Structure 1
Amino acid sequence: MNKTNVKVSLRIMGDRYNTKEITDSLNIIPSESWNRDDPIRNSGKKRSYTAWIYSLDSVETLDVYGQAKKLEELFLPKVEKLEILKQKYNLDISIDFVIIIENQETPAIYFEETFIKFAAKIGARFDLDTYVN
């Protein structure tokens, strides 16, 4: 029997920048990265922006904040570096949530003050995608 899953990622986007510099500065290896104009699989299309993405594994849970907290704990010590990189390359930062709802088990979606302050410090937006199976 499938259970509801939540995946959380921190996505750094910009026009053209060195993704290796992000990796080296944060001392975190991304789950995925690409450069603007890279091909998108076999679609014949190209990427419209450069991205550095760190994703937590998808987890069976009914608590979105629990996953958000893990991302906060990893990146909170790197806020200053993120701010510098964001300024240097005119980057956008997004905290992305992918919620796959199984068996009508809807998770709680809420954010504590510490997480909101963390997101505000790095100027992140939230992107929540939900899928109901």
Structure 2
Amino acid sequence: MERTNVKVSLRFIGEDYDIQEITDTLNIIPSESWNKGEPIRNSGKKRTYTAWIYSLDAIETLDVCEQAKKIEKVFSPKGEKIATLKKKYNLDVSVDFVIIIENEDVPAIYFDASFIEFAAKIGARFDLDTYVN
């Protein structure tokens, strides 16, 4: 039987910036990255922005905040560095959630004060995508 899963990522989006500098400054290897203009797999299209993405594996859960806290734990100590990079490169910072709902088991979607403060400190927006199977 399939269960509801939640995946979370922290994404830096910009026009043109040094992906390696993000990696070196944060001392974190991204799960995925690309530069503006690179081809998108077998689509004939090109990337319209540069991205550095750190993702946690999807987990079976009915609590979105559980995943939010994990990304906070990784990046909260680096909040000042993230804010500096954001300003230097005019980056859009996004915390992305992918929620795959199985068997009508809808998870609780909420964020505690600590996570909201962390997101505000780094100037992040939230992007929640839900898929119902």
- Code of the residue aligned with 1:106 in structure 2: it is V
Match of 1:91 in 2: 91
TM-score by length of 1: 0.99
- Code of the residue aligned with 1:54 in structure 2: it is Y
Match of 1:119 in 2: 119
Q: Which runs of 5+ in 1 are unaligned?
A: none
Equivalenced residues, count: 133
CA deviation after TM superposition for structure 1 residue 97, in Å: 0.3
Q: Pairwise mapping of residues 75-86 of structure 1 onto structure 2 (< 5 A)? A: 75-86=75-86
Q: Secondary structure at the match of 2:57?
A: coil
- Code of the residue aligned with 2:9 in structure 1: it is S
- Code of the residue aligned with 1:29 in structure 2: it is I
Q: Pairwise mapping of residues 62-81 of structure 1 onto structure 2 (< 5 A)? A: 62-81=62-81
Q: Which runs of 5+ in 2 are unaligned?
A: none
TM-score by length of 2: 0.99
How many angstroms apart in 2 are the aligned matches of 1:117 and 1:27? 22
Tell me how large the CA RMSD over aligned residues is.
Answer: 0.4
Q: Secondary structure at the match of 2:33?
A: strand
- Code of the residue aligned with 2:112 in structure 1: it is E
Match of 1:55 in 2: 55
Q: Does 1:108 align with 2:113?
A: no
- Code of the residue aligned with 1:82 in structure 2: it is I
- Code of the residue aligned with 1:96 in structure 2: it is D
How many angstroms apart in 1 are the aligned matches of 2:95 and 2:77? 16
How many angstroms apart in 2 are the aligned matches of 1:70 and 1:100? 18
How many angstroms apart in 1 are the aligned matches of 2:87 and 2:97? 25
Match of 2:2 in 1: 2
Match of 2:11 in 1: 11
CA deviation after TM superposition for structure 1 residue 33, in Å: 0.1
